[in-house]
Amino acid sequence: MKTETSTMYTLDDYDYLLPEDLIAQVPADDRDGSRLLHLSRREGTLSHRRFPDIVDLLAPSDVLVVNDTRVVPGRLHGRKATGGKAELLILDYGRQPDAEQRFYHCLIKASKQAAPGTRIFFDQGLVAVVDAFADGIYTVHFEGPVTLAEAIGRIGQMPLPPYIKRDAAQPDPADKTRYQTVYANRQGAIAAPTAGLHFTDAILARIREKGVTVVTITLHVGYGTFVPVRVDDIREHRMHEEWFSIAEDTARIVNQAKSQGRRVVAVGTTSVRTLEYAARDNGMVSPGSGNCDLFIYPGYTFKLVDAMLTNFHLPRSTLLMLVSAFAGRETMLQAYAQAVQKQYRFFSYGDAMLIE
């Protein structure tokens, strides 16, 4: 028999039923055309809105924190010397902007495991040479007449999540803009901070005109975000590290808001994790950069974030656990059940949710 405590920490208790047809395969026709489920923790209410209503739901005194990471179009399609197809996804291109890179960690999809010394040939004359393989990750270096940056710019594809079922041979050019936020700036992510995909320049202008202060942090979304939880007791799960940076101006503005009792609203779970990782016990945030491995699950005490905008997350995922820590597991599962009933669109290209 499960106790209340064991329910908080059992993987099965972060599961829910999701019809496959609710997994968004393409973005909304308009960037701000998604729906917005509004959850008020104080009132205990849910309301159904459109995303542009976010302007009305923010207060003029709020500080809105967005993640300005930029997704690397680092999915490359090539062939081995045998002629067999191979797909390569670069996991750490530009992950630490000040680091000089020669070797890269990659995922490789091919008919069989690529042994060290395997060469994979791409357009533009680019060649990837496999140096090592460990724990499902390949280490490679690149050769050829073009730089890796030039090749990615010409032939790289956006690394859409696997639940978006697309023909890899016929990528949609629109993904290169729609799978980036309008404020994406610092290249290094293998996935978009998807809660930010809904914002347009016009909506951000209206938010600023209202008096809301908008600041940026950076967290380069990495492979670890998508590693499944494989333990029954979620407390045994370990997060991979992801590089982050918080500028002094951002820290100063956030800290001033906290000292004045104003809200800090985080856009996306990446912003939440970065702020909470850098927060001191007194609720103030420290500027700087480093590697964030914070795993937030029920029982966690939030130090800094007062409200969050987020998309709908996969069952049994660390992201669902994070929002459950913020709003309560039962509350979140009930909200998700209503979202399913109301035919909301789920995951990366899906609808949004404001939790305050």
Where residue 27 falls among pLDDT bands split at 50, 70, 90? very high
Q: Determine the pLDDT at residue 170.
A: 64
pLDDT score for 1: 36
Q: Output the average pLDDT for the chain.
A: 93
> What mean pLDDT do residues 311-338 have?
97
Residue given tokens 């041979």 in the structure block: 169
pTM to 2 decimals? 0.94
pLDDT digits (tens, 9 = 90+) for 187-231: 999 999 999 999 999 999 999 999 999 999 999 999 877 788 999
Looking at residue 102, its pLDDT comes to: 85
Looking at 121, 156, 191, the residue that finishes a domain is 156
Q: Which tokens is 22 given? A: 């609710």
The pLDDT > 90 percentage for the chain reads: 88
pLDDT at residue 2, as a whole number: 45
Beta bridge partners of 107: 89
C-alpha span between 142 and 155 (Å, rounded): 15
Same domain for 218 and 146: no
127 with 272, same domain: the answer is: no
pLDDT at site 270? 97
Query: How would residue 39 be classed by pLDDT, with cut points 50, 70 and 90?
Result: very high
At residue 23, φ and ψ (nearest 5 deg) are -80, 115
CATH code for the domain in which residue 124 is found: 2.40.10.240
> Residue written as tokens 């040479």?
129
Same domain, 34 and 84: no
In a domain, 163, yes or no: no
- What pLDDT shows up at residue 18? 97
Max CA separation in the chain (angstroms): 65
Same domain, 322 and 191: yes
> 17 in helix, strand or coil?
coil
Q: Which residues contact 84 (CB under 8 A, 6 or more apart)?
A: 110, 111
Chain segment 92-120, per-residue pLDDT in tens: 987 665 556 789 999 999 999 999 999 99
Hunting for tokens 């924190």 — which residue is that?
65
In a domain, 148, yes or no: yes
| Residue 178 pLDDT | 96
| C-alpha gyration radius of the chain | 21
Which of 326, 69, 56, 356 has its CA nearest to residue 212?
Answer: 56
Q: Specify whether 220 is located in the same domain as 84.
A: no
Evaluate the CA torsion angle 257, 259, 265, 269 in order and state its sign: positive
Looking at the fold, whether 200 and 306 belong to one and the same domain comes out as yes
Task: Name the residue with tokens 């140096």.
Answer: 131
Identify whether 332 is part of a domain. Answer: yes
Alpha-carbon gap, residue 130 to 152, rounded angstroms:
18
φ, ψ of residue 116 to 5 degrees: the values are -55, 135
For the chain, how many structural domains are there in total? 2
Residue 139 burial class via C-beta count within 10 angstroms: exposed 0-12, middle 13-18, buried 19 and up: middle
- Provide the pLDDT confidence category of residue 167 given band limits of 50, 70 and 90: confident
Is the pLDDT at 181 greater than 50, yes or no? yes
199 and 267 in a single domain? The answer is yes
Q: What confidence tier does 4 reach under pLDDT thresholds 50, 70, 90?
A: very low
Q: Supply the range of the domain harboring residue 86.
A: 75-156
Is pLDDT above 80 for 3?
A: no
8 A C-beta contact, residue 144 and residue 118:
no
